[in-house]
Structure 1
């Protein structure tokens, strides 16, 4: 999709689904020097180090263009998976942390879980660029959409309409930023994600919010699906309530209704 159409795409998605927050474009940059001019880096703009999910919130709520490098980040597990440390074994290091905080019951199970988590190699990318989709200067590597379960359902319908396949998801309740940012980029497939504790504690993700994330290359698929999926039965968001039925009332209402000649 040409960059000039990102504004139209973002506005259509947000209006069609009545999203509360902005669609976010994500780019993984080999060099931090590639960050666009006027990008806000929290360590500079705010004088603070933040979590990756906070950067996502700044983009989707404030509408900021946010750049995250090693100097901007403070979330240890996310920095491990995003390759912003020099640990020799990402899986083992993260597994040790999961055991230490009792997120898992044994070292063996911890390694089994962390070994299957999506990650970037150490030093593979120097920066993460998070931009409102409407202002994206590049074709996104990943597009991230926060919504309630019904909105995410509609996104899954839209994707499967063209792709002919269901949307996968892995749910662990921790370090989920890797699943909605890295996984679509690495696998070339969309994801449905339940945000983890970091999202809820640090980035103010609400209890009714889920994530649908997809590779930027599939944005056209999503748009066509939102236009056409289920149009023969009026499928849309908000879902239309069925009203073609006659309600039943408790017996006391019926008794009074008979007295009044209603029944």
Structure 2
């Protein structure tokens, strides 16, 4: 897919399902790759979930480095750095009273999808309909009915099921980016305490993430199933 096709598919996906904000294109720039030309540096320190939220609502395109990522846990699961021992062990969430024991917290953190530490040097974000690079993952923040329709469209051609494994932790980063990046599978997640506190993700919204290679078939099926000419 070239940039023009990606942009067209992004607009069609948003229009056919009447999604109120843009699907967000995310690209993990590997340590031995170049950052795509013409993409501005974010120029401020904020969280990955806020970057996704700003891109979908405000239409901004930018790249970020490790130092720009305020949430180092999110940065770690996406491969920008090592995860801190306290987070990896579950101690952080145990101390927040999210788990009854340190063992339960550790068991959960051991199952969090994580890209290899220090394998990624930058992350690029853009509204899908404006992307001037090939993303790895598309994140759609939408209402449950729209996520249902996305799921149905994903399965229309070949069937199967959509993964919905989550813990309400590391949601927009681990579930939303690391999982589809590592597995090549689409996923659904519900947000986490941080992403719902620091962004404008609404109570009635959830997150679906799709590897970019699934995008053409997804949009084609969505148009045939839910477009204005569909039965």
TM-score past 0.5 threshold:
yes
Aligned residues: 228
1:172 deviates by 1.5
Rate the CA distance shift 1:28–1:14 in 2: closer, same or farther, 3 A.
Answer: same
Report how far residue 89 of structure 1 moved.
Answer: 5.7
Farther-moved stretch of structure 1 (161-170 vs 82-91) = 82-91
Report deviation, 1:207: 0.7
**Structure 2 residue corresponding to 1:194, chosen from 175, 190, 195:** 190
* Separation in 2, partners of 1:189, 1:113: 21
Change (3 A) 1:21 1:40: farther
Q: Which deviates more from structure 2 when the two are superposed, residues 185-194 or residues 71-80?
A: 71-80
Larger RCO (CA within 8 A; separation ≥ 6)? 2
Aligned to 1:143, what secondary structure does the other structure show? strand
Match of 1:205 in 2: 201
Q: CA deviation at 1:173?
A: 1.5
Query: In the TM superposition, what whole-angstrom CA distance separates every residue of 1:165-187 from its partner, at most 9, and x where no partner exists?
Result: 11111232221021011111111
In structure 1, the gaps of 5 or more residues are 236-263
Confirm or deny that 1:123 pairs with 2:124.
no
- How far did residue 147 of structure 1 move? 0.8
Q: Is the 8 A contact 2:73 2:87 kept in 1?
A: no
Matches of 1:207 and 1:36 in 2, distance apart? 36
Q: Which residue of 2 aligns with 1:10?
A: 10
Runs of 4+ in 1 over 4 A off after TM superposition: 87-91
Change over 3 Å in CA distance of 1:223–1:90 after alignment to 2: farther
2:180 corresponds in structure 1 to: 184
Matches within 5 A, 1:248-259: none
Match of 2:28 in 1: 28
Structure 1 residue 88, shift from structure 2 partner:
7.3
Q: Which residue of 1 aligns with 2:40?
A: 39
Does the Cα contact within 8 Å between 1:99 and 1:106 map onto a contact in 2? yes
| Structural RMSD (CA) | 2.2
* SS of aligned partner of 1:212: strand
1:145 to 1:88, Cα distance in 2 relative to 1, 3 A: closer
CA contact (8 A) 1:59 1:132 kept: yes
Residue by residue over 1:207-245, the C-alpha shift from the partner in whole angstroms, topping out at 9 and shown as x without a partner, is 1111111100110120122023478xx67xxxxxxxxxx
Write the distance in 1 (CA, Å) between the matches of 2:84 and 2:192.
Answer: 25
Residues 140 and 217 in structure 1, CA contact (< 8 A), matched pair in contact too: no
Question: Scaled by the length of structure 2, what TM-score is found?
Answer: 0.90
Which residue is equivalent to 2:82?
A: 86
* TM-score, normalised by the number of residues in structure 1: 0.80
CA deviations 1:8-30 (Å, max 9, x no partner) are 21111111111110111110002
State the SS of the aligned residue for 1:163: coil
Give the match for residue 219 of structure 2.
Answer: 223
Which residue in 2 is equivalent to 1:172? 167
Instruction: Give, in angstroms, the shift of residue 194 of structure 1.
Output: 0.6
